[in-house]
Amino acid sequence: MRELSVGEAARRSGVSVSALHFYERKGLIRSLRTAGNQRRYAADVLRRIAVIRVAQRVGVPLEAVRQAFGTLPDERTPTREEWAGMSARWHDELDRRIAQLVNLRDRLTDCIGCGCLSLTACALANPGDRLAEEGEGPRRWETP
């Protein structure tokens, strides 16, 4: 079975049919059509959906994913190397998110220790504090 119908893609990926329609409208995935106008997906759609799911777990908006997908070929199924490149970039993004959360956790520990949570001296509470704000996560992705 070389091509997938929406229902098959939905079952295999774990997302709903309506979500697949939605992703297509948003330009995240692409389908060929049968003579009768039914969607047929190339196998790479499952990889794309997997990436979308990872993205959502780490809080990256779909629009940023769409842009990331922009680096992949449009008409051709991406090569393993092209996917590996994308995956490496995701790995870096996860590294940043993890570092951010660790930082946050450690600051929170400090705050418990000092009893200061949210007072003016506390980095967590003070949005002007560059150390607390470094990163800001998804924004890095949207404007790299």
26, 53, 76, 139: which one binds a copy of itself (CB under 8 A):
53
Type of residue numbered 129:
D
Q: From residue 42 to residue 61, what is the string marking binding to DNA with x (rule CB under 7 A)?
A: ----------x---x----x
Report the distance separating Cα 79 and Cα 77, nearest Å: 7
34, 94, 139, 142: which one binds a copy of itself (CB under 8 A):
94
12, 14, 34, 71: which one binds DNA (CB under 7 A):
34
Q: How many residues does the chain have?
A: 144
Report the distance separating Cα 142 and Cα 69, nearest Å: 13
Is residue 139 close enough to count as binding a copy of itself by CB under 8 A? no
Annotate 59-89 with b (16+ C-beta within 10 A) or e (fewer).
ebeeebbeebbeebeeeeebeeeebeebeee
Interface residues with a copy of itself (CB under 8 A) are 12-14, 46-51, 53-54, 57-59, 80, 83-84, 87-88, 90-91, 94-95, 97-98, 100-102, 104-105, 108-109, 111-112, 115, 117-120, 122, 124-128, 137
